[in-house]
Structure 1
Amino acid sequence: MPFASLGLTSPLARVAADQGFVHPTPIQTAAIPAILQGRDVLGLAQTGSGKTAAFVLPLLQQVLGARRSTPRRLLVLILVPTRELADQVGGVTRELADGLGAPVKIVTAFGGVSINPQMMALRGGADIVVATPGRLLDLVQHNALNLGEVAALVLDEADRLLDLGFAAELAEILALLPPQRQSLFFSATFADEVQALATALLHEPVRIEVPAEPDTRPDITQRAIEVDPPKRAQLLKHLIQTSDWGPEARVLVFAATKYATELVAHKLHRAGIHAAAFHGDLSQGGRRDVLNAFRASELQVVVATDVAARGIDIAQLPVVVNFDLPRSPDDYIHRIGRTGRAGASGLAISFVSPDTEAHFRLIEKRQGLRVPRERIAGFEPVPGEAGELDEDGLPAAPQGLDPNGGVKGKRKSKKDKLREAAARGG
């Protein structure tokens, strides 16, 4: 089915083809006509399914068909959770718009860099803004941006936007938007929090779910190695130095905290392995330098917090290691999805301790599979050892989990908080 048959104009269909979108993917086939009709959309599809083009192409058509004004009115607002995803979505949007030869002004805004160039870019207005929530609110507070005429709101990676720290900012943004607008929620997973917010904010949405076909699912081998927390760093070094995917293969390691990323990267570097930490406290320039060095194989290992689980595409990344298990089973899917991309095979290794065994079983249950437990000679768990210090006499990088996957006693649930935020935003 050609793109033109979905309702896109000939120039947009041609631009899609020029950018390599030869045939619409299932999510594009279902979403593009609905968006062109002005419907709200709740779209669920796996990473790499073409979600970005599914909403960018029809929204570009709407922008081109809107009446022009001076200064430009912000018509489309795309919210994303990370700087890297903002760069990626902004880049795709700009490439598609540039191919049209039409004057569509697109501004990408995120934190970690000076706000001044972004404020300068917004002089005279913008047609489309791709932004992280915090920086968007900064721009509004500086009177650089007015959200009062937004015609379409997109939440890309909607589940991550509703993680801790985003819900309150999202509620502020929703309160600044016009009540009559088109709203589009897209994600690879839909947690209960997303469904709760969608119920509150979407009007008779078109729900699109595109399950992964067996022949299109990533070829990812999953391994689970039992190990006590203090031995994890030594085990990681052992695997990198002795496995058949080393010693030159690039490895992305996930840890629970910024402190843990720095500590693990330091230990690897001390062992002669080129490694660097990647977390939210790095400047945007520092984060970009780490990723560029990793892509160029100047770094063999990057140790990251979950900020890297979305919006980063490292070609031919053979191995992902969960040094700490993620709090959410959905985050586990996004983490291991960094490998096995574009038809390549990949390997995902998780370190499982006695304290996190129950949580890993929950992750397995959500995936509908069972990963055999392994033990590596010399790194077997020792019954009864709490292991508060690692092999260097330093505190072990914390796993930060409880067996129930982050349930916090009698405090309000995230769903309750989101419902309250949605009610305030409404």
Structure 2
Amino acid sequence: MSFKDLNLIKPLIKATAASGYTEPTLVQQRTIPLVLDQKDVIVSAQTGTGKTAAFALPILQQLFDKQNAPKKGKKIRALIVSPTRELAVQIQQNFKTYAQFTNLRSLVIFGGTSIEPQIDVLKKGIDILVATPGRLLDLHKQDYVNLDYIEIFVLDEADLMLALGFIDDVKKIERLCPESKQTLLFSATIPYKIEELAKTLLKNPERVDVTPTHSIAKDIDQVLYYVPKRNKIELCLHLMRNTIKGNVLIFRRTKFGVNKLEQSLLTNGFKVDSIHGDKSQSDRQTALNKFKNGYVNVLIATDVAARGIDINELDNVFNFDMPNVAETYVHRIGRTGRAGHLGKAYSMCSADEKSYVKTIENYINVQIPIETDHPFPLDPKAKPIIHKKKGSKYKKGRKSTASKKKKKRWY
């Protein structure tokens, strides 16, 4: 899916591309269409999932038609309330980035700094205000902030608001806004008190839940590398030498692939063994015992051969080939991070495996973190290589040119 598929307008697509984002994250894919439909939304998502853009982009789109100031100047039409100044600054930075090809103006206000510069900008008129609760109420009391024209109200990091004791201020701010507004609530977790707050603030809200499902252990650190298919072995060797610490179980899709990788690793001095369907049960057991007892620290396997393998202290799982079934991914990486040990799951994805990644992320409800800092990056526009079968150059049922020539027959 691309940002175009979310029906965003050109200035916003241009801004996301300029920021280096080509594909929306899971929380963006699910939230943006709902916000554009002007629905109230509760979103449960961790920090770092791209949730700021999930509300910033559709807000900018909704305000875009009325972006040029009327005679009396711009009115504040979107309000984002954030618990801390650091988060507020970060949010406004995002708005600035995504609004670079529009005339929409935003401002961040927070306590602990001089109030005068903030008042100066407010007087000139803005479309979007990002604020911490205390400073917002302070400026409203002094008549510098008018909330009568708010169309969209966003409450970010609601659980942190609760923890910091801002909930009464938030309710006060919400009452100062028009009743007809659209309300969006974002929170890493949704405890009972946030549920209660949501009931008072939102009207028939849609829910978006992008917290990890229980199918993935919390002790597994996942990372994804996009790489051209031809460079997978080189990247594997690079990671084995520089990044991966401890023992590693590598998964490949085919027996041929297992053998090929085993040869490459042996040639490069790694202690490695393998298990796949062509090996006898006793050979598989021997390879597994060598791995468990530390005689080899790399074991390469196919999914079929790896069924039932139980290794208590496995440091890393490495998906050399992405599985095309989401449950298989969960099954593979679930072999590490057991019994209180921290585990790491590395995955390599080539252009033809991108759809598998999307299926897996939807299944586990997690955006797998992408590592771009490596020697063999994949061009984001790369298309899968399709090998076409070459058929006969002659049409079926037609005589060849040679047979059409008038030949002298012997009869």
TM-score, normalised by the number of residues in structure 1: 0.50
Alignment-derived partner of residue 5 in structure 2: 5
Q: How does 1:209-220 map to 2 (within 5 A)?
A: 209-212=209-212
Tell which deviates more after alignment, 197-206 or 212-221: 212-221
The alpha carbon displacement at 1:87 in A equals 0.8
In structure 1, the partner of 2:14 is: 14
Identity of aligned residues (%): 40
Q: Which residue of 2 aligns with 1:76?
A: 78
Residue of structure 2 in register with 1:158 after alignment = 158
Residue 136 (1) aligns with residue 136 (2): yes
The answer (yes or no) to whether the contact 2:174–2:201 under 8 Å persists in 1 is no
Instruction: Give the whole-Å Cα distance in 2 for the aligned partners of 1:217 and 1:188.
Output: 15
Look up the match of 2:175: 175
1:98-156 Cα deviation digits (max 9, x unpaired): 2x1x2211110000101111111101321000000000011111111100110000011
Q: Which residue does 1:95 correspond to in 2? A: 97
Aligned partners of 1:182, 1:132: CA distance in 2, in Å?
Answer: 19
Report the residue type matching 1:105 in the other structure: R
Asked if the contact 2:85/2:110 (under 8 Å) is kept, the reply is yes
Q: Is the 8 A contact 1:151 1:182 kept in 2?
A: yes
Cα deviations across residues 57-112 of structure 1 (Å, max 9, x unaligned)? 010011112264232111100000001101111111111112x1x22111100001
Which residue of structure 2 aligns with residue 250 of structure 1?
none
Q: Which residue of 2 aligns with 1:194?
A: 194
> Offset at 1:211?
2.9
Q: Distance in 1 between matches of 2:161 and 2:339?
A: 29
Shift of residue 218, structure 1, vs aligned partner = 8.1
Contact preservation (8 Å) 1:107, 1:121: yes
2:148 is the counterpart of 1:148? yes
Alpha-carbon distance in 2 for matches of 1:218, 1:111 = 38
RMSD over aligned CA atoms reads: 2.4
- The amino acid of 1:160's aligned partner reads L
Whole-Å separation in 2 of the counterparts to 1:90 and 1:38: 22
Is the contact between residue 219 and residue 340 of structure 2 (CA under 8 Å) also seen in structure 1?
no
CA distance in 2, matches of 1:370, 1:136: 48
Aligned residues of 1:44 and 1:188 also touching (Cα < 8 A): yes
How many residues of Structure 1 are paired with residues of Structure 2 in the alignment? 224
Residue by residue, what CA displacement relative to the aligned partner does 1:295-342 show, whole Å, maximum 9, x if unpaired? Answer: xxxxxxxxxxxxxxxxxxxxxxxxxxxxxxxxxxxxxxxxxxxxxxxx
Find the counterpart in structure 2 of residue 58 from structure 1. 58
- Give, in whole Å, the separation in 1 of the partners of 2:340 and 2:62: 47
Q: Aligned partners of 2:141 and 2:339: how far apart in 1?
A: 50
C-alpha separation in 1, matches of 2:62 and 2:121: 22
- SS at 1:162 equivalent: helix
Label 1:166 to 1:24 Cα distance change in 2 as closer, same or farther (>3 A).
same
Runs of 4+ in structure 1 over 3 Å off:
213-221, 369-372
1:32, CA displacement in angstroms? 0.5
Report which of the two structures shows the higher radius of gyration computed on alpha carbons. Answer: 2
- Structure 1, unmatched stretches of 5+, are 222-368, 373-426
Paired with 2:339 and 2:59, the residues of 1 have a C-alpha distance of 42
Residue 87 of structure 2, aligned match among 82, 85, 95: 85
Question: 2: CA distance between counterparts of 1:49 and 1:161?
Answer: 19
Q: What amino acid sits opposite 1:126 in the alignment?
A: I
- Give the letter aligned to residue 15 of structure 2: V
For 1:87, the aligned partner's letter is: V
Mind listing any 5+ residue stretches in structure 2 that lack a counterpart? 223-337, 342-411
The answer to whether residue 123 in structure 2 is matched with residue 116 in structure 1 is no
Contact 1:46–1:212 (Cα < 8 Å) also in 2: no
8 Å contact 2:150–2:178 — kept in the other structure? yes
Please report how far the alpha carbon of residue 216 of structure 1 lies from its aligned counterpart in structure 2 after TM superposition: 11
Cα offset for 1:370?
7.6
